[in-house]
Amino acid sequence: MTKQTKTVTQFLDELEHPLKAEIEAIRSLVLGANPGITEHVKWNAPSFCYGGEDRITLKLYPPRKIQLVFHRGSKVKDTADFRFHDDSGLLAWVAADRAVVAIQTMDELDEKRAALTAVINRWILANASIAHGEATAPEG
């Protein structure tokens, strides 16, 4: 069972967006990827946390695509020891420790669902490991 919050549900109920169905499906996918993931609204979009730290945030605008922004929290962190191997090829790196996955259609989301779920879970666990003193993210 997913952990949908009233705050995010209300935000999405009031959201007018051409890809609203995709946003709802992405929300369910992210929440279902790991039982420790929670959600709230931050940066005017659904944001997903693990251990109280933001790790994945949706970028909703411009409205022609949805981006899942994979990050290491709201504050800049040292990237000297950060490594994350993306064997799925889904992540487009925009900084040393931040990547995005763009989704434009439900068909595209369905096509990427299994790989995206695995990457989300690995990202969450990698950043949880780093927060607890391990230098590198799991490779597989």
Yes or no: say if 74 and 55 are a contact pair by the CB < 8 Å rule. no
The predicted pLDDT at position 140 comes to 40
Domain 6-75+83-131 has CATH 3.40.50.1820: no
Encode pLDDT of 28-81 as tens digits. 999 999 999 999 999 899 999 998 899 999 999 988 999 999 998 666 665 667
DSSP state letter for 38: E
Return the higher-pLDDT residue of 60 and 133.
60
Residue with tokens 């929300």: 27
For the chain, give the percent of residues with pLDDT over 70: 84
Q: Domain map of the chain by residue range?
A: 6-75+83-131
Look up the pTM and report it: 0.86
For residue 2, pLDDT beyond 90: no
Size (the chain), residues: 140
Sign of the torsion formed by the C-alpha atoms of 73, 37, 62 and 109: positive
